[in-house]
Amino acid sequence: MVSQKQGFIWLSVLLFLNILFFSSADVQHYEFFLQESEFTKLCSTKKILTANGSFPGPEIRVRRGDTVFVNVHNQGSHAVSMKWEGIEDVDGSDNLIQPGRNFTYEIDLDDEIGTLWWHASSAWASATVHGAFVILPAADEEYPFPAPTADRKIILGSWFKQELTEANATIAPGRADAYTIEGHPGETYGCSNDTTFHLQVDYQSVYLLRLVNAAVNETMVFGIAYHSFTIIGQNGAYSSRSFANSITILPGQTVDVLFCANQNLGHYYMTARPSSGRLATNGIVQYTTTGS
């Protein structure tokens, strides 16, 4: 009788915890429209496939345990499927969306936390159709490290002068004409019309930088002059803390780092380059206030 009573108590506790977990979860809805858009970079203009007309594509921002529905409308001229990196439970992950059709992916989040990303499955489309998938702690959870002042996503990408099509089934490393930070080529490619990514920070504030390597088949090295980082997560999971002056990110990987704006008022270069050292791109970290 005692063991049965204990079993009933344990079952009641488990049911209570299960109800508590799901009551804190939410259902989120996103609409993606795949369409061709004109972009000018490296002093030339071309059409690329985009999600919602932007490069990089829109960010998904949800909480741990949420259910996410993403309705993808293919308004392009080629069949496309989507990949949700690092997420185990995706309904329709192999579905091929024909031109003029749409498909809704159901994504059930479980233990994933931190930063992941989504992209088109094929190499040619993935170069321009991608975005961050940010998973915040559940409403009743806290970070296992001091809470940052704010968080910022930074997607590293590739830019090709040629038009990419289905004929580009594979893209070898080193084929890009430029690399980008949040879609900006920076100042290093000799085109005065190119834009540069700016990250504005406040003195002594701590930022969680969500780094995504979307560069096609390239290991990227990221750094900010005179600043260091605390690595706190990788690929949708927390990690043991480590410290680094630069961050090496493998192709298709994500890294979460803490970055303290603790230098003097001014502008500091942010750099991203392939590990091979060929070409590079830069951004600017701009202090907006000081501690004085």
Neighbours of 199 (CB within 10 A): 19
**DSSP collapsed to 3 states, the chain:** CHHHHHHHHHHHHHHHHHHHHHHHCCEEEEEEEEEEEEEEECCEEEEEEEECCECCCCCEEEECCCEEEEEEEECCCCCECEEEECCCCEECCCCCECCCCEEEEEEECCCCCEEEEEEECCHHHHCCCEEEEEEECCCCCCCCCCCCCEEEEEEEEEECCCCCCCCCCCCCCCCCCEEEECCECCCCCCCCCCCCCEEEEECCCEEEEEEEECCCCCCEEEEECCCCEEEEEECCEEEEEEEECEEEECCCCEEEEEEECCCCCCEEEEEEEECCCCCCEEEEEEEEECCC
Find the range with the poorest average confidence among 9-18, 37-46, 108-117, 134-143: 9-18
> What's the pLDDT band for 290 if we cut at 50, 70, 90?
low
pLDDT of 93 above 80: no
- What is the rounded CA–CA span in Å between residue 212 and residue 148? 19
- What is the rounded CA–CA span in Å between residue 94 and residue 208? 32
**Who has greater pLDDT, 119 or 23?**
119
pLDDT of 96 above 90: yes
pLDDT of 289 above 80: no
- What is the rounded CA–CA span in Å between residue 254 and residue 232? 11
- What is the rounded CA–CA span in Å between residue 146 and residue 206? 9
Q: So what's the pLDDT on residue 14? A: 47
pLDDT tens for each residue of 192-230: 889 999 999 999 999 999 999 999 999 999 999 999 999
Query: In percent, how much of the chain has pLDDT > 70?
Result: 89
Q: So what's the pLDDT on residue 92? A: 84
- What is the rounded CA–CA span in Å between residue 12 and residue 19? 11
